Amino acid sequence: QQPVQSPQAVILREGEDAVINCSSSKALYSVHWYRQKHGEAPVFLMILLKGGEQKGHEKISASFNEKKQQSSLYLTASQLSYSGTYFCGTEIYGGSQGNLIFGKGTKLSVKP
Amino acid sequence: IAGITQAPTSQILAAGRRMTLRCTQDMRHNAMYWYRQDLGLGLRLIHYSNTAGTTGKGEVPDGYSVSRANTDDFPLTLASAVPSQTSVYFCASSNNRNTDTQYFGPGTRLTVL
């Protein structure tokens, strides 16, 4: 049931773009995205609640394709502060409402 | 406003000992959660609570117990710690259980020897 995140890791130069994908084998009710810096707690980025929904947070946006059971996180013109590990948390139809199943994470490193 | 606090920050524990990890939130959130985070495995839900007085099992509940006597506190107890419980433990809360933002505490790093 654990969603699969890809890539596992990515290295960028400042100003470059990246896409992180989150795919599930189960039908999804919602997808949550979090960023965690080393030694810190995960920090909420955004929730996507329905198919086709897209959201943005600064230069970070996400989409949710309900039919494909996947979500993508888009990081545009990356900044040094974007470095960290990104996790998707999925809420599955038929699962315990509100419980999130997290992917293993994608480690993003932004270099000057 | 502190948000969510966890104690202790870190702990080294001998196998077989009993340990309680504390979690307190001041946001009056109804739902609370305990996760463990292990390298390469992401965050896994241990137990959750919809509201004071109720608790439920997550993905990896074995060896752990929780209680929710009031809205603010959600302690996690390891009755007899084992080395496989070495992990970083995060407490989180959300306003309600219906697809809501979860806010995480700073974590407790536990080592069981």
* Chain A residues touching chain B at CB-CB below 8 Å: 2, 29-30, 32, 40-44, 47, 49, 87, 89, 91, 96-105
Q: How many CB atoms lie within 10 A of CB B97?
A: 18
Residue A33 has pLDDT above 70, yes or no: yes
Please report which confidence band the pLDDT of residue B89 belongs to, taking 50, 70 and 90 as the band edges: very high
The residue of chain A nearest to residue B106, with distances taken between CA atoms, is: A41
Partner residue opposite A98 with nearest CB, options B31, B59, B104: B31
- How distant, in Å, are the alpha carbons of A7, A18, A19, A70, B88 from that of A108? 9, 9, 10, 19, 21
Enumerate the residues of chain A whose CB falls inside 8 A of the CB of residue B105: 41
Please report which confidence band the pLDDT of residue B62 belongs to, taking 50, 70 and 90 as the band edges: very high
Enumerate the residues of chain B whose CB falls inside 8 A of the CB of residue A89: 43, 102
Residue A55 has pLDDT above 80, yes or no: no
Cis peptide before A42 (omega within 30 of 0): no
- CB pairs < 8 Å spanning A and B: 55
State the pLDDT at residue B112.
97
Residue A52 has pLDDT above 90, yes or no: no
As a whole number, mean pLDDT of residues A21-49 equals 92
The pair of three-digit structure tokens given for residue A43, joined into one six-digit string: 């920090």
State the pLDDT at residue B103.
93
Looking at the complex, does the CB of residue B55 fall below 8 Å from at least one CB of chain A?
no
Enumerate the residues of chain A whose CB falls inside 8 A of the CB of residue B31: 98
- A41 with B90: Cβ contact below 8 A: yes
Partner residue opposite A41 with nearest CB, options B48, B94, B106: B106
CA distance A89 to chain B (A): 9
Please report which confidence band the pLDDT of residue B41 belongs to, taking 50, 70 and 90 as the band edges: confident
Lowest mean per-residue pLDDT among A72-76, A96-100, B11-15, B63-67:
A96-100
Lowest mean per-residue pLDDT among A45-59, A81-95, B47-61:
A45-59
The residue of chain B nearest to residue A5, with distances taken between CA atoms, is: B42
As a whole number, mean pLDDT of residues B40-67 equals 94
Q: What is the pLDDT of residues A12-31, one digit of tens each?
A: 999 999 999 999 999 888 89
State the pLDDT at residue A51.
67
- B98 with A98: Cβ contact below 8 A: yes
Residue with token string 């929710």: B68
**Long-range Cβ pairs for the range B60-68 (8 Å, 24+):** B60/B36, B64/B34, B66/B34, B68/B32
Spatial distance between the Cα atoms of B56 and B39, rounded to a whole number of angstroms: 25
The residue of chain A nearest to residue B105, with distances taken between CA atoms, is: A41
Q: How many residues in total does chain B contain?
A: 113
